[in-house]
Structure 1
Amino acid sequence: MFSTFRGLPATVRTLFAGTIINRLGCMVTPFLVFFLASRGVTGAQTSLILGALGAGGLLGPAVGGLLADRIGRRPTMLIGLVGTAVAQGALFLAPGVALMAAAALLVSATNAMVSPAVYALMADSVDGPRRRQAYALFGWGINIGTSIAGVLGGFLAAHGYWLLFAVDAASMLAYALVVATRLRETGSAARGGDGSEETGAGYGIVVRDRLMLLVLPVLGVQSFVYALTEAALPLAISGSGLSPTVYGTLAAVNAALVVLLQPLVTTRLAHLPQLSVHAAGSVLVAVGVAMTGLADGVAGFVVSVVVWSLGEVVVAGISATVVSHLAPPHARGRYQGALNWTWGVARFTALTVGVLLYTAAGPAVLWWTALVAGVTASALSLGLAKRVTARTRHALAA
């Protein structure tokens, strides 16, 4: 499996190892509802805290992308990682709902700051043709760490929720140590600039990029469809009268498929047009998600998960690669921040509008929406392929 990623620079391999360490400790959020219940937090109060958690996921990428270009990739990662560790402690110790909500906002915001800096750092370190392998390796590390964390989290929660917070904070600090000792700066700080080479400030350079403004909504719709696997799949399982254990089993199936197949699929598809591959994979995701509406037992749910998991494997690393090619070198952090912000919006929409459609309009409406939206977005991405390819060739030749 590792032969797929042979030859990537040490920076990418270090980020891969650090990401696994980091993701091994991402256990608080999945068990947050149970922790809040143990503290006597009511359902309405829990919704407030979860809303704050979602809001932080929208704020963090925008701030992280801006800082990655302004002060550098490494400082931004260190601020995010150390800040998340501190916020985890604040969330555990918070004496009231308002402080819990504020801490939850900080947890998700600081944690979400890290990814734009990581993606920008990898784009700085890897030449264009190999960026997809680099981003796929990063995603592979996320899945490996998350898979182990899912099992470990259940064990630790049974022995005390404080263990979840302690391990999460320790993993963040361990990753920060890796960043501080094993990585070198490649962004504006390394060049002696301030990341403001373009006219205007902040995300103006992204907003003025017409092609980027066409690409982001398409990727956002595709991300929304995928995010329904987190938002609506549990509702479908519950509605079928199945136990939460089934959801855990399906999550394990998804993780196993991604971890086992991603290196092979990434190698096989590396030389094909990336937007065409992404469109095909996104259709698989949309079909798999829509098949959830046909499932009437465990076997049906397993088949649907296998289909959208294969789609997830196919698209791995492509969206970040496309955006890295569109971004000017001095604005890579902000372009990746915009991409991560789009993902945050998609996930937030799936958790709100998606669940509302399921409960108010009915499951069939949601599954048909997912299928039509996913296929339409994939068709639109193919329509943009010629312009993206031309821009990519120009960027790689420069």
Structure 2
Amino acid sequence: MDYDELFVGMENTSPLLTTFGGGPGNSLYQNIVTIETDAGAFDDVVSTDTPWTGDVIHYDLGSGLVTTKIDSIASLTGTVTFNDGATWTSELLVVQDTAGNAFLLVRDTQPELASQGIESVTFTSVNSTNFDGVIQHSKDDLDFVCLTAGAMVATPDGPVRTDRLRRGDAVLTLDSGPQPIRWIGKRRIRFDPRPHPGQPVHIAKGAFGPGLPTRDLILSPNHRVLMQTAPCHALHDPLGALAPAKALTRLPRVRRLTGRREITYFNLLLPRHEVIIADGIAVESLFPGPEAFASLDGIERADWLRIGALGGRVTGTPPARLMLTTAETRAALATGQLHPPATAPVPLTWSGARHRPRALPAHLANRA
């Protein structure tokens, strides 16, 4: 589609104006690909090969690692069809590499693309191809979120170690009372001596205030913690916002455990995305977006489907709170507009939903 490397843009966009995915065995949620850049997990601008040499990317389509470069980027208007038949129309970005493969780019500002499995996407018009790169923010929004083995999770019978919880056990939530665990994932990760984006985040006892947390808490870097935004903040929500743990290292006594060589992570999937309590502070349960499903290995994926963990859906459920990106979290902390809650979270102890809207206000849901 991009034949002339002397000029920015695509010369022929017609191959994009069609429907991708749909039909038995061809659902897009079954074809999620993780693209790694040479920037790793850090912020960077990933350039196309016009007019520069282009940044290297890596991915695996199932036949081994592919190393190539970004050739061109297109902004298109398209309609996404989810696996429950719902549709959503918006501006979408497509990245083509020098091997001729095209990828739909899931952006931090489009949580709708993570709400459930995508069946197909139909592109109807081209807005622009005049891009010479794409900004990569630190990976955050859609990755697996995990607790470690020693974290104490609030249940109707008191705090229980994560590694002692079983499928069917109930945990307390801030909004929906006791909720059963539908699925538990367990993964042991080993790190080499170099810094690794998967290394955990350590929140020291009392880092957020007296008893917050009640003991040292270790989370995966992408696990989101409930924070409070200042009323003047552009993304203020009185119910709070979920911020990735790795972005909270600006706070005193919160740091990356770069010396750890091995850790075991646990993922707790509930009937819907919820705010739970671990070691006295509010954190999220597993958000079942398509990236989480794609991160499962074959056995885990088969188990997820076999038990009907999400009531017939492969992925989906609305987020329990506004979910901030790493960049948004760091910016809000730097300006004093984001801070830990001053008091301990109070869960519902009965099985009834607290009255609060599941849909985000328009000015938050549509943020760019």
Establish whether TM, by shorter chain, passes 0.5.
Answer: no
Per the normalisation by structure 2, the TM-score is 0.27
Between 1 and 2, higher relative CO (CA 8 Å, sep ≥ 6) is seen in 1
Per the normalisation by structure 1, the TM-score is 0.25
Higher helix share: 1
Higher strand share: 2
